Amino acid sequence: MTEKISGGPALGLTELIDKELPVSMLGSALGRERLGGTLLFFGPDGGGKSSLAFWLAAALNCTESRGLAAGCGKCNSCRKIANLNHPDVIWVFPVPGSIYKAEQPDQTKLAQVFEKKREKPWCEIQFAEKSEHHLAAVNRIRQEASRSCYEGRRKVFVITGADRLRLEASNAFLKLLEEPRPDVTLILCSDRPSSLLPTILSRCQRLQVNRPRRSILAGLLAGRFAMSESEALDLLDLADGSLPAALRLREEEALQSRQEWVDKTFRAVLAPGAGVCLELVEDRRGPMFNRGDFERYLAGLIQELRDALMLRVAGKEALSGRGKSIVDTGPVAEFAGQVADFQTLIKLLFRLIDLRDALNRNVNLRLLGWSLMKNMKEVLQ
C-alpha cells in the first residue's frame, strides 16, 4: 500500500512559465516558423525542461489561440496536454526493462508511471531498478510517428532523460531522425547531453534551459509549503539549488513528522488517564489543526496498525521489509501487544477507516482526534 504524501500540493508544470523559462525564444521561432523538427532541451535538473516541453506542445496544439505563440491553457487540448493524456502529445519516460513483456509494455505498470509523473511533475520518476529507454519504446515512437494526428495539429513526442537511450534504441532513434515527418516534433530533454550519440546531437536544434533564479524558486517553495523565504532558501541550499531535490527533502521531512505524531499517539494512548491524549489533541504543532495533515497522519496510523495486525496474524515474512523494525519494536508494537486479540485489532482498524471517511463530512478535527484516541484506549486490556 502506498499512501500519498506530498507535504503540500503538487507543483504543476506551468508554475514557471512566463517567469523564467526561455519561452520567448521558442515563441519567436514558432512565429517565424523556424522551429526544427527535433529539439534538445538541455540543462541541470529542475531547470524546467518538462515545463518548456509542455509549453511548446500546448502552443503547437491549442485549439483557441491558433496562430499565437502560446497555448491558452484552458481549452480541451491544453488541458489534456497538461494532464499528460493528449493522444498526439506523447511523453516517453525512461523505465525499467521489467515493464516490457514481448516488446509490449504492461499497461497497468505504464499507467502507474504516468500517475507518478502527474503527482510530481517536477521530479524524475524514481524506480528501484535501472531505468532506460528501450528499443521497444523507440519502436512504438516510430510506429506512432508514422500515423497522422488524432485530434491535434502536430504530433509531439517528449522524451525525458534522453541520454538514457540504450544503444540499440539509439540506433533505432537515429532512423526516426533520418525520416522526419512534417507534422512531427520530437523534444529530447536531458541533464547530460554529452551522453547522447553525436549523430543524434548533430540533428537537434538545441536550447539550454538553466535553473530559474534562487529567489524565484524560494518564492515558489515558500508559497507552497507555508515557510518563510529564508527557510525556503535554506532548503534550496541543502538541495544544492535543485528544486526537485528540495521537494524530495520536504517530502522526507513531512514523512518524518508524520511518523513522529503517529508514535506520539501510541504513547499517549498507552499512558494512564486521558491527560496526554488531550494535550496531543490540543497541540497546535500537531495534525489536528489542518485537514491535509490529519489525513496523512490518520493514513500513517492505519498503515502501522495494519502492519501490526499482519505481524500478529502472519508473522514477520508478511511485511517484506517495509516498516518491520518500527512495527516490531516501536510504540505500535507495545500497543498491539496490549490488545486482547487480533479480532479486536481488526475492529479498531475498521473504526479508524470509518473515521477517515468522516473526514470528508467536514467534522471538527479535534473532536475526530479525540474520538480516535478514545477508540484506541478502549481496546487496551
Binding site for Zn ion (CB under 5 A): 62, 64, 71-72, 75, 78
Beta bridge mates, 380: 339
Least CB distance to Zn ion at residue 62 (A)? 3
- Tell me whether residue 155 or residue 203 sits nearer to Zn ion (CB atom): 155
Question: What is the pairing mode between strands 38-42 and 205-208?
Answer: parallel
Cα–Cα dist 300/279, whole Å: 20
Least CB distance to Zn ion at residue 70 (A)? 9
- Tell me whether residue 19 or residue 74 sits nearer to Zn ion (CB atom): 74
Three-state DSSP at 335 gives: helix
DSSP 84-134: T--TTEEEE--B-GGGEETTEE-HHHHHHHHHHHHH-TTSPPP-SS--BB-
Least CB distance to Zn ion at residue 350 (A)? 46
Least CB distance to Zn ion at residue 237 (A)? 38
- Tell me whether residue 26 or residue 62 sits nearer to Zn ion (CB atom): 62
Locate 303 and state its grid cell. Answer: 498503515
Least CB distance to Zn ion at residue 235 (A)? 34
Quick one: CA dihedral 261, 266, 271, 275, positive or negative? Answer: positive
Buried (b) or exposed (e) across 106-137, using 16+ Cβ within 10 A?
eeeeeeebeebbeebbbbbbeeeeebbbbbbb
Length of the chain: 381
- Tell me whether residue 54 or residue 157 sits nearer to Zn ion (CB atom): 54
Locate 132 and state its grid cell. Answer: 532506460
The answer to whether the beta carbons of residues 255 and 269 sit under 8 Å apart is no
Count of C-beta atoms within a 10 Å radius of residue 284:
6
Least CB distance to Zn ion at residue 18 (A)? 15
The answer to whether the beta carbons of residues 271 and 380 sit under 8 Å apart is no
Least CB distance to Zn ion at residue 53 (A)? 16
